[in-house]
Amino acid sequence: MPAVPPQGKPWSAQQAANACEGDLHPLALKGIQFYNAGDYFMAHEELELAWREERGAIRDVYRGILQVGLGYYHILRMNYPGAVKMFQRCRQWLDPFPDTCRGINLERLRSDFLLAEAALLRLGPQRLAHFDRSLLKPIEFIASKDGKSDYV
């Protein structure tokens, strides 16, 4: 599979589905662990390393997750424009993929960041300090073979 979509087009549904088979890159798993611990900067670092090492469509999932995490990081650092920018960018990377990808509940991740983004936009830059941090949700990841949801 090529490292980028053909001629700059989005991944096909079949390419995205195929990329979701198999296991997460170990660095991506580590990044998700940092993300779920609320350490969005370190999550970004690990996910970026996984993104650089991977080939094919799955690397866009890693990029999308790291950008959601950066959006959360910017919220915590009161960087309104940075958070808005990351939430806008992450869509293009996550949207082509099915609701579950390599054990990651992307449907929930998309729903969670959309709620956080809506709250961010409602508050605007002047009221960002009032952001409800409970909206910064962990990534649901199915780590076990029994199919039970877990947060790593």
The domain segmentation of the chain, as residue ranges, is 13-135
Stated pTM of the model? 0.89
Q: Residues near 57 by Cβ (< 8 Å), separated by ≥ 6?
A: 1, 5, 11, 15, 16, 18, 19, 96, 97
pLDDT one digit per residue (tens) for the chain, 152 residues? 344 554 566 789 899 999 999 899 999 999 999 999 999 999 999 999 999 999 889 999 999 999 999 999 999 999 999 999 999 999 999 999 999 999 999 999 999 999 999 999 999 999 999 999 999 999 999 865 555 545 55
SS3 content of the chain, % helix, strand, coil (to 5): 65, 5, 35
The CATH superfamily of 13-135 is TTHA0068-like (1.10.3450.10)
> Would you say 35 and 43 are in contact if contact means Cβ atoms under 8 Å apart?
yes
Q: Which two tokens stand for residue 60?
A: 């866009």
